Amino acid sequence: MTLTEQLETLISRTTLSVSTEQINLLIQYVELLHKWNKAYNLTSVRNPSDMVVKHIMDSLMVGEVLQGDNFIDVGTGPGLPGIPLAILFPEKNFVLLDSLGKRITFLRQVVFQLKLANVTPVKSRVEEYQPEIPFDGVLSRAFSSLNDMVSWCKHLIACEQGRFFALKGQYPHDEITQLPDNIELVKSYEIHVPDLTGERHVLELKKLA
């Protein structure tokens, strides 16, 4: 089975609507990631077929819960979940933030080759990055704890409509009890990623005024 056939089969087992053109872009991204990974060590996932499940599908399924138009993917690494989501939602804008130069170099190449007009890679530490306007949503699957995410990223969203979307494995009961008083859990979504073993959750959090 080709990577394209694999991805088409996996998407058919979800409620996602993904065009042939978008599937082609997602596969091109996997091929670039596989090629650059040999020299840049961007991900511990080495097999392109595994990347389709663990990176592409895992990122795309987050799309079911996103609200808003402008997002920042903090600690994006090689562009996850930002790049797959930007391909899925060409009408939304994504800033991909990472402090490592080699990752941003890779992401600029991805943006160039895939002609992604809605993606802006930025090299910066999160606490030093000052957006011109607050984002609708902060995405991350990089932070070790929810507390770290909300404390380091609180300046990136506004109180009323801004949201944190934290990608997690198992439901983090302990982390939720340790959240600051001014952060509220809006909702927890259990997402089902075809062929992926283990639980996946997206936690939607907001700042209180």
Residues making up the binding site for S-adenosyl-L-methionine: 75, 80, 126-127, 141
DSSP string, 80-138: TTHHHHHHH-TTSEEEEEES-HHHHHHHHHHHHHHT-TTEEEEE--GGG---SS-BSEE
In three-state secondary structure terms, 142 is coil
Q: What is the pLDDT of residues 30-55, one digit of tens each?
A: 999 999 999 999 999 999 999 999 99
Domain boundaries, the chain: 3-207
Residues making up the binding site: 75, 80, 126-127, 141
Q: What is the pLDDT of residues 171-183, one digit of tens each?
A: 999 999 999 999 9
- Average pLDDT of the chain? 96
What's the CATH code, domain 3-207? 3.40.50.150
What is the mean pLDDT of the segment spanning 190-207?
96
Phi first, then psi: what are they for 97, rounded to 5°? -110, 130
